[in-house]
Amino acid sequence: MIDLSGKHAVVTGGSRGIGRAIVLRLATQGADVAFSYRGNQAAAQETAAAVEALGRRALAVQGDVTDPAAAEAVVAAALAAFGSIDILVNNAGITRDDLIMRMSIDAWREVLETNLFGAFYTTKAVTRPMLRARSGRIVNITSVSGQAGQTGQANYSAAKAGLIGLTKATARELASRGITANAVAPGFVLTELTAGLPEALTAELVARTPLGRFGTVEEVAAAVAFLASDEAAFITGQVLAIDGGLVMM
């Protein structure tokens, strides 16, 4: 049983989807959780209430991770509320899919700034307190698109590939202080986004996945909880694919 009792976590983009599942899984395992959200206050309040119903402390902080000051604010708020940060999960992300020849510069920039720059800003903000504590777990949510590329997702694939590089560089820099950095790479997962896909496309994606189904947000969250735990203390710089065998490397 993974035990995160007494641990304090920060999750970016924690109000819905995979982020919400991660927040709830960490709380279920015993952690207090602060999470950022961009705009959906109702969803954030509901997630915070669900954490508190589990007997853990919750802190919802509104902010856009593309703003370095907002990244610093969520970390500062968590430190003020909890006293320390043991776990950081960089989950916040968006898609703006299009073919390269049609992709706008804004669509390219916005995805890179949210999915990659945002993770850097938050990682930078937690580095000093984790170094002082000589411990910490950083888990980045990348994607199979970052491992293998995806048609119509040049921006998203580039950002998620960059996140893998950031994970490995972070792991090397911080290892001497007992801090680990790893990534989780989901494949096709059942979320609000994928629920609206055309039936034919859904069937094609399932057919491409060796295990023959979509994953669940809970399965992704379980992997994050493991990497955030003491059981994973000797794992760093790794990318754990939660993809039903879609990408085998």
User: How confident is the chain (249 residues) per 10-residue block, as mean pLDDT?
Assistant: 94 94 98 94 95 97 94 96 98 92 96 97 97 97 91 94 98 98 94 75 88 94 98 97 87
| Amino acid found at 243 | D
The span from the CA of 92 to the CA of 108, in Å, is: 16
Question: Which position among 156, 188, 214, 226 bears the catalytic label?
Answer: 156
* 156 catalytic residue (yes or no): yes
Q: What is the pLDDT of residue 193?
A: 67
The span from the CA of 15 to the CA of 220, in Å, is: 15
The span from the CA of 210 to the CA of 184, in Å, is: 18
Secondary structure E strands in 152-217: 179-186
Name the nearest CA neighbour of 238 among 151, 152, 142, 107. Answer: 142
Q: What is the pLDDT of residue 115?
A: 96
The span from the CA of 164 to the CA of 142, in Å, is: 7
**Which residue has tokens 């641990």?**
7
Q: Is the Cα dihedral 150, 190, 107, 249 positive or negative?
A: negative
- Reduced to 3 states (helix: H, G, I; strand: E, B; else coil), residue 169 is helix
- The full length of the chain comes to 249
Sheet holding 32-37, edge to edge: 58-62, 32-37, 8-11, 87-90, 136-141, 179-186, 239-242
Q: What is the pLDDT of residue 249?
A: 61
- Reduced to 3 states (helix: H, G, I; strand: E, B; else coil), residue 212 is coil
Q: Is the Cα dihedral 138, 51, 38, 202 positive or negative?
A: positive
The span from the CA of 62 to the CA of 129, in Å, is: 22
pTM of the model: 0.94
